[in-house]
Amino acid sequence: MMAQIQQEKDRLNLAPKKFNMWIFLFTSFMFFMALTSGFIVYVGGSKTHELTIKLPQIFMYSTGAIILSSLTMFLASREAKHLQFAKQRLFLWLTIFLGIAFFVLQVFAWKALIDMHQHLVNPNASISFVYVISGAHLLHILAGLLLIINTLVKSYKNTPQVLNLYNMEMSSIFWHFIDIIWIYLYVFLLLNQR
């Protein structure tokens, strides 16, 4: 019996794929570490390189949105485990909504920066860094949203529970990760404000 289940597992072969996701998070982590280290090196180069602006308030709201979205994502996973598929979908919808809200708020934050006359093209590249760092993060948000949409769409089709849980897990690992990364990036930028 055990051997048969084992074979079944081999066929689906999900564990290594989940593992792949974790390793991918490492690459992504290194990417953001490189950007922030680059920031440190740049700012350390000269007094005029410091981040002399106050970051727009909107970043506060977007951070709130993404933290909330992590919560709804967590709830969606929990409902999926308890076989409450209707609720799972509801929370996934909410997560997608909050994710889009985050996206839009970030764009508004850029607009606020522009209104402050702090453009991407800037003699003080530490401000360009704010754009590049949040922009690179937004690309990750886009990927995360696609993953969640994939999970949601498949949950409407007749997907076996094993796969549903697997999709759920893959998308929530990634989503929580980019949530944490954003908090890191935001706190990092806040601490470097002068």
Partner 1 sequence: MSTLAVHDHHDGVEHHDHDHGHHHKETFISKYIFSMDHKMIAKQFLITGIIMAVIAMILSILFRIQLAYPDKAFPFLETILGRFAPGGRLDANFYLSLVTIHGTIMVFFVLTAGLSGTFSNLLIPFQLGARDMASPFMNMLSYWMFFTASVIMLASFFVQKGPAGGGWTIYPPLSALPKAMPGSAEGMTLWLISMVLFVASQLMGGINYVSTVLNMRTKGMDLWKMPLTIWAFFLTAILGILAFPVLVAGVVLLVFDRSFGTSFYLSEIVVQGQVMNYEGGSPILFQHLFWFLGHPEVYIVIMPAMGIASEVMSVNSRKPIFGYHAMVYSLIGITVLSFIVWGHHMFVTGMNPFLGGVFMITTLIIAVPSAVKTFNWLATLWRGNIRFTPGMLFAIGLVSFFISGGITGIFLGNAALDINLHDTYFVVAHFHLVMGSAAIFGMLAGVYHWFPKMFGRMMDEKLGYLHFWLTFIGAYLVFFPMHFMGLDGVPRRYYAFTEIESLKQWLSVNTFITWAAIMSALAQVAFLFNFFYSIFFGKKATQNPWNSTTLEWTTPVERIHGNWPGEIPTVYRWPYDYSKPGAEEDFIPQTTPYSQTMTSNLPHDFEDNPTGLTQYNEWLKTQKVQEEVK
Indicate whether 13 belongs to the interface with partner 1 (CB under 8 A): yes
- 158 binds partner 1, rule: CB under 8 A: no
Position 83 contacts partner 1 (CB under 8 A) = no
* Of residues 6 and 193, the one with the C-beta less far from partner 1: 6
Q: Is 64 in the site for partner 1 (CB under 8 A)?
A: no
Q: Phi first, then psi: give them for residue 31, nearest 5 degrees.
A: -60, -50
In the range 19-38, which residues lie near partner 1 by CB under 8 A? Answer: 19-20, 23-24, 26-28, 30-35, 37-38
Span from 60-68, 114-122, 165-173, 183-191 in contact with partner 1 (CB under 8 A): 114-122
Nearest to residue 80, comparing CAs of 173, 145, 168? 168
136 contributes a contact to partner 1 by CB under 8 A: yes
Task: Tell me: does residue 190 bind partner 1 (CB under 8 A).
Answer: no
Q: Which helix (H) or strand (E) holds 128?
A: helix 125-156
How far is 78 from 91, CA to CA, in rounded Å? Answer: 10
168 touches 77 (CB < 8 A): yes
CB-count burial class (<10 Å; 0-12, 13-18, 19+) for 61: middle
For partner 1, the closer CB: 124 or 192: 124
